[in-house]
Amino acid sequence: MLPAFRGSTRPTTGNVVATGPNAGSFLNLRNLGVQRTLVLLDGRRAAPSSREGATDVNLLPSDLVKRVDIVTGGASAAYGSDAVAGVVNFVLDNRFKGIKGTLQSGVSERGDGASIKGSVSAGTSFANDRGRIVASASYYDVQQIGSLADREWGRSNTGFLNNPANRGQLIFRDNLRAATASPGGVILSGPLALRQFGPGGTLVPFSRGTAQSGLIQVGGDGAQAFSSLSAGIETQNYFTHAEFDVTPSLTIFGQAALGLSKTEYNQIQQFNLGGFNGFTIFSGNAFLNPAVQQVLTQTNTPAFAMGRVNFDFGTPANALAKGRTLDLTAGFKYTGGGGLTIDGYYERGRNRTTIRTNNNVALERLYAAADAVRDPATNQIVCRVSLTNPGLYPGCVPINLFGVGAPSQEAIRYVEVNPAFRTTVKQDVADLSIRATPFATWAGDVALAAGGTYRRVELDQTTNDLANSVNDATGIRGFPAAYLNQPGGLLLSNVFPVAGSYHLWEVFGEAAVPLARDQPFLHALDVNGAVRYINYSTSGGVTTWKGGAVWEPVAGLRLRGTASRDIRAPNVPELFAGIVQQTGAVIENNVTVPIILATLGNADLRPEIAKTYTGGIVLQPDFAPGLTLSADYYSINVSGIITSLTPQLTLDQCRAGNDALCANITRNAAGTITRITSPTLNLNELKASGVDIEVGYRPSGDVFGGKAGFRVVASYLEKQQQIFTNGNIVDRAGEVGLSSNPRWNVVGNVTWTSDTFELFAQERFISAGRYDVTRSEPTTIEDNTVDHVFYTDLTASFKVAPKFRFYLTVNNLFDQDPPLAPTGTLIQYNRTNPQLYDVIGRFYTAGINFNF
């Protein structure tokens, strides 16, 4: 992937989060967010495949892609709203004739992550070549790598904690564990504190390890849990395009695409951490070992706190997302004299995604089952609420939590649920454009274009009743304060219903005017401009524009520059989304504090406006045929950027004096944070700037009896600033731990081709950087550096028959481990940042292409 794409997702970079799958291929230019990169298919908006409106490019017909045009920087005036970071246009070969396809299989060095792919495409013409039709189908499946512990570096469970010996200093350590939870349950208060339940509910000592900070400790007996290393993904893609020349000037077409996807990911082992959502065990619990109960009775201890990670509940909470995207398009193209072209189309896109969290936990059921007593009438062990509030929790099964393996399967089935929610996104687009070259200047033809678009987007999200219920916990003793009287009845993936839509209409005009040809110091001079007016149903009208020039003072030297004003209006979830809850953590007073993070939409959002400036130079010197050098500077300033703050930023900005954000922080009676609400906001500004560099060389003659080519593409990030309403500025440029913004990202490759053999070698470089730009050594972080990394990829292919070519690819040839840049929270850590670094290791892929 080109260096300009940063923060894009792939199977190893994301998971199935509460709002949807995050492990497809969603393109992210400049790391400005996938919602600011516009994806087109043959110049038309692709159907959305997520509730945010982004397109999973895995679902596009890759076998028919003829080329990919990338326009970086502001492109809203020319291509439509949302193109703040740029446009990626997949151009298809809709006139392909013949049959071609691919069969391939891959596996990692360690024998996991196996993948298979098969595709076939066919095309033909009819009616004396007046009609043409192409069709394509593909299947792709990659197995989930279910645990970070499947890699030696992942088993280290390296993470971060505040240094208990130097308050305020963040440190990285191996073997991090929960300090307030063990697999069999650890007592955290009372006369039996820091003892854990062993076999048969007996007590054994609990080792606190070598260091503790809040909920985290280094070593000892605390629990460890591992999420998936890489998601399991299965996709199917079916595509057909047919067109017919009604007259020599008029062509009509119809197109249909169906994409099916399935994503699976282990989220987290069911957990109850002391100090957050742990258990309160009351004296008289019917499952307590008699020796334990005796101590409680003798010391007149009414209850104790207990933390537990419930490995004996079975497999971790597992998210499964199934998506179906249907895209239907019909249109026409008319050509006439004077370069006249009229294009029109209507597109209807529909995405339906169902996300199920298997082995989730119903909160009220769990805490009701944990308070187990004996029924005085029958002497049977029952849930206490069944006696005090009969009928309120029907079927309650008491659960034994004391020791590994103690819970019965019947009790586990009672507390675990498999909730699901469904999102349906609809997009309708009608577009008409006219292009012509009606006249010429002294330097050449003047190209003009104009047109208009109507677009409507609608989102409907239905959820499980438990997810959007309020935890009143009537009759339940020991229900955690963090959940009490709060919405969200599940441990994970509390998603509320969403229903909303918006529509817009837009009109545009463009012009490309040549001003000089073959003049002294004006070998060529062209200017271009575009203006677009967009009227949103939610926020009214706004105007975008773009102006640019290309000056070639002498042959082989070209200078170019643009200035633009671009726009992106809030999407439906940003406007109307209900509460979505997840667990997380923040650092306050040098202690890691677990919280509930609640995000929600904001109907008062305004469109974000970007000002973009680019300037560049291209050299194609006559003295070195085949050599091309280019360098382009970009500066993007987005005001009123639409985003939700992370919990830590909310807290940090509150402490820095932003009182409005302080209102989003909920604390308990002891003053401890329990909940942070992050509504979607118009923040002040986001500024990004940098330089893109490309060097290519293709010798005209033979090299070792074949044709050779060399290419290096590099991106330098100068600035990636967040500017908040209170004036605080955070520049993430060079940060490769908490975010994915390396200063330098470089891809270089060399190809060599003969009649039967082709060799492709690629080197990828990510520069060293800082883990967290807001911290400084050694005061607030022990080591803030992250090492640079190189990755080498090789592909060799050769003809095995006139119509068949075999290929073998080795990615990460030298099996490079990722550098230390820990991510994670609570009890689950990843040693590295998977958005930037390879976590699979050496991976082999072999396949065969055929073309008839």
- What local confidence, expressed as pLDDT, does residue 691 receive? 96
Give 109-157 as a 3 state SS string: CCCCCCEEEEEEEEEEEECCCCEEEEEEEEEEEECCECCHHHCHHHHCC
CA atoms 742, 631, 723, 572: torsion sign: negative
- What local confidence, expressed as pLDDT, does residue 452 receive? 95
* Contact call for residues 364 and 476 (beta carbons, < 8 A): yes
* Contact call for residues 66 and 100 (beta carbons, < 8 A): no
Question: Which of 802, 780, 835, 707 minimizes the C-alpha distance to 169?
Answer: 780
Tokens (6 digits) for 382: 């029952």
- What local confidence, expressed as pLDDT, does residue 16 receive? 47
Whole-angstrom distance, CA of residue 259 vs CA of residue 145: 24
Question: Which of 18, 13, 14 minimizes the C-alpha distance to 599?
Answer: 18
| 707-738: burial string, b at 16+ Cβ within 10 Å, e else | bbbebbbbbbbbbbebbbeeeeebbbbbbbbb
- What local confidence, expressed as pLDDT, does residue 18 receive? 53
- What local confidence, expressed as pLDDT, does residue 17 receive? 56
Question: Which of 228, 277, 235, 254 minimizes the C-alpha distance to 330?
Answer: 254
- What local confidence, expressed as pLDDT, does residue 261 receive? 92
Question: Which of 849, 817, 850, 821 minimizes the C-alpha distance to 833?
Answer: 821
Whole-angstrom distance, CA of residue 734 vs CA of residue 764: 17
Burial class for 508, CB neighbours closer than 10 Å (0-12, 13-18, 19+):
buried
Mean pLDDT per 10-residue interval, the chain, length 852 residues: 76 56 77 88 90 86 92 80 88 95 96 96 95 97 92 92 89 94 97 95 95 90 91 94 96 96 90 93 97 97 97 92 95 92 96 93 97 96 96 96 97 96 94 94 93 95 89 95 89 88 94 90 90 93 93 92 92 84 80 83 90 95 92 94 86 85 87 88 89 94 90 96 83 95 96 94 97 94 96 95 94 96 84 92 96 92
Whole-angstrom distance, CA of residue 660 vs CA of residue 665: 10
Whole-angstrom distance, CA of residue 567 vs CA of residue 539: 12
Give the Cβ contact number of residue 657 at 10 Å.
11
- What local confidence, expressed as pLDDT, does residue 474 receive? 95
Whole-angstrom distance, CA of residue 184 vs CA of residue 401: 7
Give the Cβ contact number of residue 135 at 10 Å.
18
Tokens (6 digits) for 660: 């409005």
Residue 540 neighbours by CB under 8 Å, 6+ apart: none
The H or E element containing residue 652 is helix 647-655
Domains, the chain, ordered by start? 16-147+230-266+320-357+422-851 (2.40.170.20), 176-223+271-309+360-417 (no CATH)
Question: Which of 143, 404, 371 minimizes the C-alpha distance to 266?
Answer: 143
Residue 146 neighbours by CB under 8 Å, 6+ apart: 228, 229, 266
* Contact call for residues 133 and 240 (beta carbons, < 8 A): yes
- What local confidence, expressed as pLDDT, does residue 781 receive? 95
Q: Is 439 left (phi over 0), alpha (psi -120 to 50) or beta?
A: beta
User: Rounded to two decimals, what is the model's pTM?
Assistant: 0.91
The H or E element containing residue 368 is helix 363-370
